[in-house]
Structure 1
Amino acid sequence: MDNSCRAIDNGVKKDIEDSFKSFMAKYFDKGPSLARVYTSENCITIHCKDILTPLEKNLTGDICGEYLIQASRKRILHNTKAELLKIVDNNIDAKVSSFYMDLNIFDDSLCCAFIIE
């Protein structure tokens, strides 16, 4: 297994964080207040906090609202997957082979994991 991701410097991590914040702001009208990039072996993980819009925060008390948030965000991310993968691809010397995403409404956070070839 290639350990090339360990060589990602802080400047590249910052570029990925900034690009991810811009991506989120573009498609969700609100970027996260915090985005951090972590690397391990062949995985790049982006963890974001404070991602929900004021409208979404108002929907969190209802199970139907929570489902709506989950479904709409996952659908938007699925539809913009190519652009999302380019955020990582354009900043490293490897290709993303798979991508996983989890949204935690109660914690107001998002975690994306990119598996590198």
Structure 2
Amino acid sequence: MQLEVSLTVRALCLLVFCATGVLCTRGEEVHRLAQRKLCADEECSHPISMARALADYTAPDCRFINIRQGQIVYIYGKLKGKGRDYWQGTVQGDYFGEQSTSLGFFPKSIVREIQHLGTELVEMPTVDWDFYC
């Protein structure tokens, strides 16, 4: 009984801290970088191309990914319009240590495409989930 109460209290505290933003850095929606994007398929589930990072990049917020010079980046989306300077992709984290693989945005200027993996791109609207942390 005491264990159940303790777990309930911990869960409530965690909920309160997340609601106030004290502990949670995920679960927040931020503004869209663009309204449209290019993808290899309608689900944006296949990479468009592979690129090599030309420089280190430190993510300014939760929508972006950290990249180290020399890493291979798999590009899954290319933003259009006002956000055209940003691409969406993943890096292979295991090669450079503890960094986990995650999907995020980065400036296209810090990578050089080395291999195209598809031929035809599909233009899609961005969705809230694209910019959700």
Higher CA-based Rg: 2
TM-score by length of 2: 0.25
TM-score by length of 1: 0.28
If asked which structure has higher relative contact order (CA below 8 Å, sep 6+), I would say 2
Please identify which structure carries the higher helix content: 1
